[in-house]
Amino acid sequence: MDWTYLLIVTVEIIFVIVALLGGFAYMTLVERKVIGRFQLRIGPNQAGPYALLQPIADAVKMIFKEEIIVSNADKVVYMLAPAISVGFALSAFAVVPFGPAVHLFGREIPLQIADVNIGVLYILAMGGIGTYGLVLAGWSSGNNYSLLGAMRTTAQMVSYELPMGIFVASVVLGAGTLTLNGIMSVQRPWYMWLWLWVAFPFYFTVMLAETNRSPFDFPETENELISGFQTEYGGIKFALFFMAEYINMITAAAVMTVVFFGGWRGPLAAQFPLLGIFYFVLKTFIILLLFLWVRASFPRLRYDQLMSFSWKLMLPISLIYLAGTAVLVVLV
């Protein structure tokens, strides 16, 4: 066994997990500040300089909150559901390249935990399985509102997985590979780049629904279902669902960065790996700001509008885009 390689992979896994958890914590602060500016209010400003200690204060509050488990819950599933959501949310980032390879200790180290040849399918699988955490949470709570939230989660996933998968298939068809490194590195003429970017607004909209972000946050809509699938959760277990949502959002933004905007590639990135990581983080952060911009700008739809939007608009558009991509690949 190559112990050096095992050590390197372990260090990369720890680095990615710490980065995602830190990103989740401070994205909550960024979101509250950005939404505050949109709504002409200050937002958090008391916990430390520039409220930089606010995420830590929130974490301490959640950890020490009283734990309550309702008597008619399926306790084993009830306890496992948050862990399933967070575990698969963290696992999805494993195939995302976040920088160029670096040379250390006499060997080349890719800044990517695993470069598997089915990277795109792996991400789709992790996202789909992670949804089971929300479904099981709603079912196991023994609460009608929670069950309705779980059913909404299932219907929303089934609806929006179809156009998302078709858009992904279009990207794979144009790139000729399922690996994220291959999609990021493929040489495209300018008109193929333009055609690829045509899909970005539609794919971004689908990812809003896939990550349960406003205006598609129906599994947890407070005006209809109290808090949806997580109504009976409090304290650290509630925070885990919150964590899973934000990590999924970060992963979705990172994947869009790789697929549509060249990932870590940029001027001098290959020569200076830290610069490549900077480009990757910057592009991902800009896409995350789009998530926040949409939340501040659009009201929540009705649930029937959500379903109609997927089946009557996004699905036909994705099929047309796939057909157009096939024609371009064959003729050009």
Convert the pLDDT of each residue in 19-39 to its tens digit: 998 888 889 888 888 888 888
- Of 10-14, 19-23, 139-143, minimum mean pLDDT range: 139-143
What mean pLDDT do residues 238-248 have?
Answer: 85
pLDDT tops 80 at residue 71: no
Task: Indicate the Cα dihedral angle 182, 119, 247, 153, nearest 10°.
Answer: 130
Q: What pLDDT band is residue 224 in, cutting at 50, 70 and 90?
A: low
pLDDT tops 80 at residue 322: yes
pLDDT tops 70 at residue 219: no
What is the reported pLDDT for 60?
85
Residue 310 DSSP symbol: I
Find the helix or strand (DSSP H, E) in which 104 lies: strand 99-104
Q: Which sequence spans correspond to the domains of the chain?
A: 66-331
| Percent with pLDDT over 90 in the chain | 21
Which one has a higher pLDDT value, 80 or 256? 256
The model's pTM is 0.91
Average pLDDT along the chain? 85
Task: Label residues 151-170 b or e (16+ Cβ within 10 Å = b).
Answer: ebbbbbbebbbbbbbbbbbb
| Backbone phi and psi for residue 109, each to the nearest 5 degrees, phi listed first | -115, 110
- Of 121-125, 223-227, 231-235, 289-293, minimum mean pLDDT range: 223-227
- What is d(CA 155, CA 329) in angstroms, rounded to the nearest whole number? 33
Name the most confidently modeled range: 73-87, 142-156, 281-295: 281-295
What is the reported pLDDT for 117?
87
What mean pLDDT do residues 94-102 have?
Answer: 88
184 in Cβ contact with 265 (< 8 Å): yes
CA 183, distance to chain mean position in Å, is 18
What is the reported pLDDT for 218?
66
pLDDT tens-digit readout, 53-66: 888 888 888 888 77
Is the alpha carbon torsion for 275, 34, 305, 86 positive or negative?
positive
pLDDT tops 80 at residue 17: yes
